[in-house]
Structure 1
Amino acid sequence: MAQRTEAQTDNKSDINVTDNYDVDVGRVENVGSFTKNPDAVDDNILLAQGHAPVMRRSFDLLGTIGLGFSITNSWVSYASCFGQSLLYGGALATVFGLIVACAVQWLIILGLAEQASAFPSSGGQYHFTYILAPKRYRRFAAFVVGIISVLGWWVITCSGISNNVQCIIGMVLFVNPDYQPQNWHSYLLYIGLILITLIPIFTIPQKHLGKWTQACLAISVLGFVIVTITILAMSDGYNHPSFITTFDGTSGWPDGVAWVMSIGNAMYAFASMDAVIHVAEEMHHPSKAIPRAMNLTMIIGLLTSVPFILAMMFVIKDLDAVRAAHLPSLEVFHQATGSKSAALGLQSLLVVIFYTCMPSQWITCGRLTWAFSRDRGLPYSNYWNHISPSLGFPVRTTLLSVGFCIIYGLLYMASSQAFNSIITTAVLGVNISYAVPQAITLIHRRENKLPPRPFKLGKVGGYLCNAWTPLWVTTIGIFICFPNAIPVTAGSMNYVCVVLGCMMLILVGLWFTVRRYFDGPAIDYEMLGLQSSSVEAPGLWHEALFKRLVRFNTLARVWDPVSRH
């Protein structure tokens, strides 16, 4: 059995259990109760990974897909950034850069989904890293990945709010070209959107959150159909297919460099694919549901973003005007429809969809930060490790995420370029968190690190994904640091390197603050089948775990559900 350290025993804090929860926290279910409670196996799998089940399992598969896609929203996300790809390489880089970005990101996601299937936990990547890393390095490696994940998600959430701000400001400029937007205007709008997007998660009961995310999915897909059909139907002409096969960049970079940078830009359309992992403890059968949700989210993203951007490219009449526009998507809508009212209506629909993605981002940020504080990864973890008994979710860490976004938004007052550079860094940071556990799995042999699991890539596919992820993240990380255009001006300067340096300073400072008591989860490696180099053969690992749970009833005597953290 995994032993807890003295520091873990001495530092105790209450873990609040949601009302009417079906399983007694910290108690191994007997054989009969497994038939009465279908979630008992999942709860005990979580116990074996060092955590007590304290969240209501309210997400079904469709609700989980809704959560994942409402955040990713590939076609809407790309609508917010395709203008940069037009600068890199014209329509060719914009369309085919998106397709390549989907392919490379999918390989990354497949490797991550396999690990989530093996170790379902709201902690996600840092949790995988702790389990997979050598004992000597696991604490520091898990801490680094955890901090990168938390900061990355916080800043990506800021980017979602920022996109909506830019949409609204762009619409105002479209109606009134004489308006001169000030940074403080953007910041006030930014704060207002934060407050408005918090309403659903504080008013919708926890058990109905899955219905909310399903509705968000439906709104996005319906919006895609409306926008795509409208611009094609109202356009009085279409570009020749040769327009899409012409590489026409104006960034000043050589074609090869510009092509890779366009792929990096398009990866934003498939960012945050780990969202569903961070609600693993709130879904039924997460070992199976998480990989399905992640792959279906990618499929929906591909089937919406590619037709949308193809339609956009076919209806463009003045490419230079789109490149120069404050809001490229609105300019394309106007060129396609020939009507300001119709263009504003289509852009307003994008604003609504941007709004629907924000509550899901607060959900993910709150859960991830709570999971990390549960393992004492943050200062004052005893305070942050809290589930509201009345609302049934981690309110404190959700509000901590909100506080960060409000403070971070002050960069609007200083430099919008610095603000956008940090967003780019966040996308890179989240991908780094995908790469680290996969690199560890690759280096230390997959067959020794991963137990049998419902979603298995196989030997060839597994090694391919685990090798590709760190290779691609390293490569694209270099190109992300390049300025957007040359010659470099104050407006095109890229501050990603500066931001990365600041993040490293924050990381080191936090490590010296929490290293005395950050020990990670109390993993029972024997129950996970990771004690030896060969894992038990029969079926899925949770079936083997079920047999062990029946045999090792001593877990109920040594587990202290109150003092774990």
Structure 2
Amino acid sequence: MKSESTKSPPKSPRELEATESIANGHIIGSGDAGMKKTFSFLGILALGFNISNSWVAIASSLALSIAAGGTVTILYGILVVGFAMICTGFSLAELASVYPTAGGQYHLTSILAPERFSKGLSYTCGMLGVFSWISIGSSIALIVAQTIMALVIQYHPDLTIKSWHYFLLYVAVHVIAVLYNLFLAQRTEWIYKLTFTSIACPSLTNARANSSFVWTTFYNNSELWPDGICFLTGLSGPSFMLIGLDATMHLAEECSAPAKTIPKAIISTVLVGVLTAFAFAVAMCYSTDDFESLLTTPTGFPIYALWHQATGSLPGATVLMVALLCVMMSALNAVHQTASRLTWSSARDDAIVLAKYLKLVHPRLHMPVYALLLNFVFCVIAGALYPASTSALERVSTSVTRLPHTKHGWLFLQHRCCGMDNPCYGDILFPHRGSNHRKQHDCCRCLRTGGRELGLLCANEISGAAPGIIVIVRGSHHATTTCIFLFCLFRMGSGDYSFIAGTCAARSMKA
């Protein structure tokens, strides 16, 4: 029997109701979930890493970072953004260990926000989540289309490429992803595990650059901004990595023991992602000393030209491009799977139109088919902008670095402003082993969470502001100043509950 001093503080009626509802499947809606628990820990980790495949994100967004700082922005930007994402990952994981739910951030917002504002704030966070996943899917599909066209242009330089060619490829890859989710996703979890081996990043040879050039030479190609602002705009490249960090949260009802599995998957994803991205970036940066040739390559895909320089072989570079293409297709499959679960969860809570159809789960496919198709339709609508204006879809795609950060910040901001009736103690790094270890557990948590809070104030607001700044450079004048301010504000909210938990832990030790 636990002593009085080691008992957890009693939960409020609202928290008890929320916990009971989550155990039944979700918070606001009703009915059975209807989803099979098909994911093992390795499977859910592989899916999360496939979406947040960091080295692929660095490779596909290479042009952004090269033009805004070169190797300095790539390498140090990964460290800055990586630290911020590690902090965010631990915050999400700790909340997920207490409230594992397919709704993710919007369910948690429903719990954390003041009761009179709960529905409105939760709905806003939910819609941010839905459209953030649509933007992620649109962004990946556009990059896949550009990758295919880069291969075509390389071998057929005289071919005239039209914008509608990109659109047709864009739609085709979405169709493939939807068909895969409908008929193969439940049977081929091994595909995610296979592409998880892409963490064995391609090793580049024939080093061309010296260490001084790689680590200290700043390449400012903007001609508009000083080096400091240029570096911040270049963070848009590293910001693409780990952008779908919350993917595993939305599959909480399809894995066993989600309170333990999901947090471990989130933390493993972010740690492995940062390490592989940095290792790949170092190898990549030592493989070239000619940024101009990368930015002016006729294929429009700098990583293709870099691999050509590094390997000294066009077929070798092409093989690496095909491997990159396969990994991105696997990521798109996982994005559609995750996005459909969030839309389905929102429909169960009657938060969107046509909810009575969107919340249905096909009895044989065990898949929310209508939710999957609705996301597909929105992605195609976004892609239809490309034939009319190539920059329009690109601007939609750049929101991939803004909406997810806003969604996380929206959740964390609720706790900073409102707090909870009692601090939630998730068991992430220091799980309970009995009453004798409780004070040590609280002590470690106090130190750890206080440091995380300070780190987020320094790092997260930088990575959150960078996508807003890039809007200015690209010529979009729509509320740029407001955009930067809001993202700084949202990112300052990350990890807020941890400081409260740490303070309470310290007080309990004194008592």
TM class, shorter-chain normalised?
A: 0.7 to 0.9
After superposition, the C-alpha distances for 1:474-503 in whole angstroms (9 at most, x for unaligned) are: 5555442335786xxxxx3236648x99xx
CA distance in 1, matches of 2:177, 2:231: 36
CA distance in 1, matches of 2:457, 2:111: 18
Which range moved further: 455-464 or 208-217? 455-464
Superposition pairs for residues 410-429 of structure 1, below 5 Å?
410-429=384-403
Please state how far the C-alpha of 1:334 moved relative to its aligned partner. 0.9
1:309 aligns with: 281
Amino acid at match of 1:247: F
1:82 aligns with: 62
CA distance in 2, matches of 1:211, 1:364: 17
1:259 aligns with: 231
CA distance in 1, matches of 2:329, 2:146: 13
Please state how far the C-alpha of 1:90 moved relative to its aligned partner. 1.3
Amino acid at match of 1:455: I
Which range moved further: 325-334 or 255-264? 255-264
After superposition, the C-alpha distances for 1:37-73 in whole angstroms (9 at most, x for unaligned) are: xxxx999723584554421111111000011011111
Amino acid at match of 2:426: R
CA distance in 1, matches of 2:343, 2:477: 26
CA distance in 2, matches of 1:482, 1:100: 16
Please state how far the C-alpha of 1:190 moved relative to its aligned partner. 0.8
After superposition, the C-alpha distances for 1:191-229 in whole angstroms (9 at most, x for unaligned) are: 1111122232222263x35333222313x235x2xx22x
2:212 aligns with: 242
Q: Which of 320, 337, 350 matches 1:363?
A: 337
Give the TM-score, by structure 2 length. Answer: 0.82
1:287 aligns with: 259
Which range moved further: 315-324 or 403-412? 315-324
Please tell me whether the aligned partners of residues 122 and 280 of structure 1 are also in contact (alpha carbons under 8 angstroms). Answer: yes
Amino acid at match of 2:467: I
1:455 aligns with: 428
Please state how far the C-alpha of 1:114 moved relative to its aligned partner. 1.2
Amino acid at match of 1:376: D
Q: Which of 194, 198, 207 matches 1:215?
A: 194
Relative to 1, partners in 2 of residues 1:349 and 1:98: Cα closer, same or farther, differing over 3 Å?
Answer: same
Superposition pairs for residues 309-458 of structure 1, below 5 Å?
309-325=281-297, 326-445=300-419, 448-455=421-428, 458=445
Please tell me whether the aligned partners of residues 434 and 469 of structure 1 are also in contact (alpha carbons under 8 angstroms). Answer: no
Which range moved further: 111-120 or 168-177? 168-177
**Number of aligned positions between the proteins:** 450
Amino acid at match of 1:210: E
Relative to 1, partners in 2 of residues 1:287 and 1:166: Cα closer, same or farther, differing over 3 Å?
Answer: same
- RMSD over equivalenced CA pairs, Å: 2.8
CA distance in 2, matches of 1:153, 1:42: 28
Q: 3-state SS of the aligned residue for 2:245?
A: coil
Query: Taking every aligned residue pair, what percent have the same amino acid on both sides?
Result: 26
Relative to 1, partners in 2 of residues 1:420 and 1:331: Cα closer, same or farther, differing over 3 Å?
Answer: same
1:507 aligns with: none
Please state how far the C-alpha of 1:453 moved relative to its aligned partner. 2.9
Query: Which runs of 5 or more structure 1 residues have no equivalent in the other structure?
Result: 4-40, 487-491, 505-533, 536-565
CA distance in 2, matches of 1:106, 1:313: 23
CA distance in 1, matches of 2:318, 2:387: 27
Q: Which of 20, 24, 45 matches 2:23?
A: 45
Give the TM-score, by structure 1 length. Answer: 0.74
Q: Does 1:493 align with 2:475?
A: yes
CA distance in 2, matches of 1:293, 1:258: 34
Q: 3-state SS of the aligned residue for 1:432?
A: helix
Relative to 1, partners in 2 of residues 1:115 and 1:471: Cα closer, same or farther, differing over 3 Å?
Answer: farther
1:516 aligns with: none
Amino acid at match of 1:283: C
Please tell me whether the aligned partners of residues 422 and 496 of structure 1 are also in contact (alpha carbons under 8 angstroms). Answer: no
Relative to 1, partners in 2 of residues 1:292 and 1:250: Cα closer, same or farther, differing over 3 Å?
Answer: same
Amino acid at match of 1:133: A
Amino acid at match of 2:23: I
Query: Which runs of 5 or more structure 2 residues have no equivalent in the other structure?
Result: 1-11, 430-443, 487-503, 506-511
CA distance in 2, matches of 1:348, 1:209: 21
CA distance in 2, matches of 1:44, 1:421: 36
CA distance in 1, matches of 2:43, 2:477: 38
CA distance in 2, matches of 1:317, 1:472: 29
Please state how far the C-alpha of 1:464 moved relative to its aligned partner. 5.3
